[in-house]
């Protein structure tokens, strides 16, 4: 009997294996669709393979043996289902069931693929449709979730998700039993512990929606979320309102937290990429304190790390990038709730920081590795903090401040907020930065914290630049710019957000290497293009302060062999010595007089930038524009006048809504940053038959090195910066000339040319 049974099992497995090989190759199946159903129905083996099946699952199974192939062409084994249920070893039944699930998964994947032959695809579609109609397969797979075999659970969830997505795509009504199963388990959490199985399935389904290339994916997701919007909100409230300390089995809560976090990220990503606004997609922003509270729970470090990185992604509007990369749809315009939601999240983060969030973060202990957190005995653990948490916490605060300040009523409110939160952040960071930050070196914190993560470093630099520009704009609006300029400058250095110092430290990090800047400009993984253009616009209007800072760096380095960032033009008292530090402005002499045209309080109008004279705008003019809605124009501009360049919209919430790691989106940000003009030859992002290259004399600058004094200490840092710019523009021009640059950089080259002209003028003045 055993030999006969083994032979039958082997025959069953061989038929299924041949079936699998054909589907894997996308081959057309010759037999009638009904003949394949018997071999695909997991209910044949589910009861034997399930070691922890509930009574309700057993009651649902009435389909075993119902489907038998009507002919012998497939090697029919009439009694195999009964034999397998009663006598087969569990491992053999498990292997057959895993192969069944794999065949179903591959078959649906072939149906969704555009590369599958039409006739083969129609055959697969017909088989799956018959399987869904003739068996209770969704209930069978749902019961398999409770199996002690984790691989079987995983495959069942993935297979069920594909079947459900196939039904929605083919407009087949979903099973009421499965809908009720999910709605009940989500709503009854934590009393009902099966909610995690529902989270698995929901997550898999949304991932499949993102991966598919069909045009109706928005409608499919809308249909799907409608079923579970209310239930997920109830689950969200229940999950995050638990008292972790009083729970007996914390592992189940942690599992629910991680699963819910992945689903939450997908829901928010679907809001970013698809134009839908369900409550479940906004729940984080409507109740942000729930998720922030997990960071203060006494949970493992990896859980806190996952949550703080997730919130960082939400603030940067980069959520879902890892999950949707390469397959996600194009961004939709920002929804009407975006501004309110981002402000609510930023407010919640700042409130949590004010209540001591940073003091609950432990950045010591075991650092994370790909293979776990254990180190072999023969290897020593490298001591140091968890830089992932340091970077994420830093971005949480600085990005929240940027968003908050866009809605602040006054400059005084901004200054108080900056003083409180930046002081808290710097206090949190200093013990973990070795060597420690110097007393007046606060602006170096960005380069030190983010040195190993380029994209986060650029995000932090851009946020600090946005904070500075917003503060200057508000000061100008309050007509206190002249009186408070020195105090404001001192404030920017003390709390680490002076844009010139931040940029200089960034250049120092990369060794003033123009090739690294070029990589940043071309890369789709950072927002450097937008940040660099905004900074260049500031630099051409704020050259005096930039040169002052460079001068101060050079002088203090030559005197003390250290870099000091306390480079306010005003007197800065050294409390330890009660002596007045060197005033960098005093060493400038004729330079400041020569740059009088760049006065802080000069007229807002200016001559055309392409005339290469110092603009009359003050630094406050850079973002003095009133916020404007996103423009339809997406032009890379020719700076025919500074008025054209000042048409820049400053609503960061709109900018954030466009932010993804796609280079075209980065270019769109660049276009929004530099403004608009009528020169359509510079605006195209389409492939061109020949490169659009202007005459070199009209677009490139060359530093007149003969006018640079021999004493490098006088202009060392500024000359190194301009040398880097000169090399960068030459490299960009060469790539543009060969039609190898990914977008039209004419406007960027003109900005660099303007900076070069300003530098030559200042050197001539010296």
pLDDT-above-90 percentage for the chain: 37
Tell me if residue 580 falls in helix, strand or coil.
Answer: strand
Digit-coded pLDDT (tens) for 582-594: 333 333 333 444 3
Mean pLDDT value across residues 688-704: 54
The token pair that represents 213 in the structure block: 């290339």
d(CA 622, CA 690): 35
The token pair that represents 349 in the structure block: 């983060």
Residue 368 confidence class, pLDDT cut points 50, 70, 90:
low
Digit-coded pLDDT (tens) for 48-60: 454 444 444 554 4
Least confident of 429-433, 482-486, 520-524: 482-486
Q: For position 472, what pLDDT does the model report?
A: 85
- Positive or negative, the CA dihedral 12, 13, 15, 19 is positive
d(CA 195, CA 256): 8
Q: For position 354, what pLDDT does the model report?
A: 94
Identify the top-confidence range among 239-253, 376-390, 400-414: 400-414
Residue 636 confidence class, pLDDT cut points 50, 70, 90:
very low
Model pTM? 0.77
Q: For position 764, what pLDDT does the model report?
A: 81
d(CA 475, CA 495): 18
**64-72 LR contacts (CB < 8 Å, sep 24+):** 66/134, 66/135, 67/34, 67/37, 67/38, 67/41, 67/134, 67/135, 68/38, 69/34, 69/35, 69/36, 69/37, 69/38, 69/39, 70/32, 70/34, 70/35, 71/31, 71/32, 71/35
User: Over 60: is that where the pLDDT of 545 sits?
Assistant: yes
Identify the top-confidence range among 68-72, 326-330, 526-530: 526-530
The token pair that represents 91 in the structure block: 């491992």
Query: 96 and 196 in contact (C-beta within 8 Å)?
Result: no
* Residue at token pair 């209930």: 139
Residue 145 confidence class, pLDDT cut points 50, 70, 90:
confident
The token pair that represents 73 in the structure block: 């062409």
The residues facing 580 across adjacent strands are: 573
The residues facing 573 across adjacent strands are: 580
Residue 638 confidence class, pLDDT cut points 50, 70, 90:
very low
Q: Which is more confidently placed, 646 or 488?
A: 488
Digit-coded pLDDT (tens) for 185-204: 999 998 877 899 899 999 99
Least confident of 369-378, 454-463, 494-503: 369-378
Residue 681 confidence class, pLDDT cut points 50, 70, 90:
very low
Q: For position 337, what pLDDT does the model report?
A: 86
683 C-beta neighbours (distance < 10 Å), count:
20
Q: For position 2, what pLDDT does the model report?
A: 61
Tell me if residue 357 falls in helix, strand or coil.
Answer: coil
Digit-coded pLDDT (tens) for 384-399: 788 899 999 999 999 9
User: Over 90: is that where the pLDDT of 605 sits?
Assistant: no
Digit-coded pLDDT (tens) for 64-119: 333 444 443 343 333 344 444 444 444 478 888 999 999 999 999 999 888 999 99
Question: What are the DSSP calls for 60-96, one per residue?
Answer: H---TT----SSSTT---TTHHHHHHHHS-HHHHHHH
The residues facing 372 across adjacent strands are: 369
Mean pLDDT value across residues 318-347: 73
């Amino acid at each position: 009997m055993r030999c006969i049974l083994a032979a039958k099992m082997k025959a069953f497995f061989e038929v299924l294996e041949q079936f699998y090989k054909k589907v894997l190759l996308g081959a057309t199946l010759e037999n009638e669709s009904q003949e394949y159903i018997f071999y695909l129905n997991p209910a044949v083996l589910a009861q034997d393979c399930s070691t922890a099946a509930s009574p309700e699952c057993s009651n649902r199974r009435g389909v075993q043996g119902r489907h038998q192939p009507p002919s012998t062409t497939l090697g029919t084994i009439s009694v195999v289902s009964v034999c397998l249920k009663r006598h087969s070893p569990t491992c053999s039944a498990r292997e057959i069931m895993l192969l069944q699930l794999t065949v179903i998964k591959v078959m649906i994947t072939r149906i969704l693929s555009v590369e599958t032959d039409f006739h083969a695809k129609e055959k697969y579609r017909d088989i799956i449709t018959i399987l869904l109609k003739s068996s209770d397969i969704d209930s069978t797979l749902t019961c398999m979730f409770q199996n002690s075999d984790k691989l079987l659970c995983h495959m069942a969830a993935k297979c069920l998700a594909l079947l459900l997505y196939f039904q929605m795509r083919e407009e087949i009504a979903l099973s009421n039993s499965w809908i009720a199963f999910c709605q009940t388990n989500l709503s009854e959490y934590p009393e009902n512990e099966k909610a995690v199985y529902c989270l698995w399935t929901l997550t898999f389904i949304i991932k499949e929606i993102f991966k598919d290339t069909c045009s109706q994916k928005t409608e499919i997701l809308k249909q799907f979320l409608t079923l579970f919007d209310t239930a997920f909100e109830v689950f969200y409230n229940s999950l995050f309102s638990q008292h972790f300390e009083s729970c007996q089995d914390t592992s189940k809560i942690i599992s629910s937290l991680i699963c819910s976090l992945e689903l939450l990220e997908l829901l928010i990503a679907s809001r970013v990429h698809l134009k839908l606004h369900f409550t479940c997609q906004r729940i984080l922003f409507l109740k942000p304190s729930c998720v922030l509270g997990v960071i203060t729970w006494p949970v493992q470090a990896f859980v806190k790390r996952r949550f703080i990185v997730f919130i960082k992604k939400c603030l940067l509007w980069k959520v879902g990038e890892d999950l949707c990369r390469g397959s996600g749809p194009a961004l939709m315009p920002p929804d009407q709730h975006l501004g309110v939601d981002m402000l609510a999240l930023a407010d919640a983060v700042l409130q949590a920081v004010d209540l001591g969030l940073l003091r609950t973060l432990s950045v010591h202990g075991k650092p994370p590795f790909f293979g776990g957190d254990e180190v072999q005995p023969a290897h020593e653990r490298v001591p140091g903090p968890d830089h992932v948490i340091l970077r994420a916490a830093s971005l949480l605060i600085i990005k929240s401040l940027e968003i908050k300040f866009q809605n602040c009523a006054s400059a005084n409110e901004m200054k108080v907020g900056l003083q409180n939160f930046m002081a808290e952040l710097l206090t949190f960071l200093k013990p973990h930065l070795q060597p420690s930050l110097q007393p007046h070196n606060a602006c170096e914190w960005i380069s030190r914290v983010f040195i190993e993560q380029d994209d986060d470093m650029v995000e932090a630099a851009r946020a600090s630049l946005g904070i500075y520009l917003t503060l200057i704009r508000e000061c100008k609006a309050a007509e206190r710019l002249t009186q408070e300029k020195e105090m404001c400058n001192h404030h920017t250095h003390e709390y680490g957000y002076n844009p010139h110092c931040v940029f200089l430290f960034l250049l120092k990090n990369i060794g003033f290497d123009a090739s690294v800047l070029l990589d940043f400009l071309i890369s789709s993984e950072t927002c450097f293009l937008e940040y660099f253009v905004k900074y260049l616009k500031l630099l051409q209007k704020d050259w005096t302060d930039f040169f002052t800072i460079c001068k101060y760096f050079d002088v203090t380095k030559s005197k003390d062999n250290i870099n000091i960032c306390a480079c306010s033009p005003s007197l800065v008292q050294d409390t330890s010595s009660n002596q007045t530090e060197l005033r960098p402005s005093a060493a400038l002499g004729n330079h400041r007089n020569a740059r009088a045209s760049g006065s802080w309080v000069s007229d807002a109008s200016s001559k055309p930038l392409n005339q290469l004279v110092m603009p009359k705008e003050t630094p406050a003019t850079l973002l003095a524009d009133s916020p404007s809605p996103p423009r339809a124009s997406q032009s890379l501009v020719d700076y025919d006048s500074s008025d054209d360049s000042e048409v820049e919209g400053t609503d960061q919430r709109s900018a954030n809504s466009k932010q993804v790691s796609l280079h075209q989106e980065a270019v769109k940000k660049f276009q929004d940053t530099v403004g608009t003009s009528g020169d359509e030859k510079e605006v195209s992002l389409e492939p061109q038959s020949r490169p659009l290259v202007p005459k070199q004399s009209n677009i490139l600058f060359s530093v007149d090195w003969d006018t640079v004094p021999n004493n490098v200490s006088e202009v060392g840092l500024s000359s190194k910066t301009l040398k880097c710019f000169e090399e960068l523009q030459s490299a960009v021009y060469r790539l543009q000339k060969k039609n190898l640059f990914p977008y039209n950089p004419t406007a960027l080259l003109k900005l660099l040319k303007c900076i070069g002209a300003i530098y030559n003028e200042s050197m001539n003045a010296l």
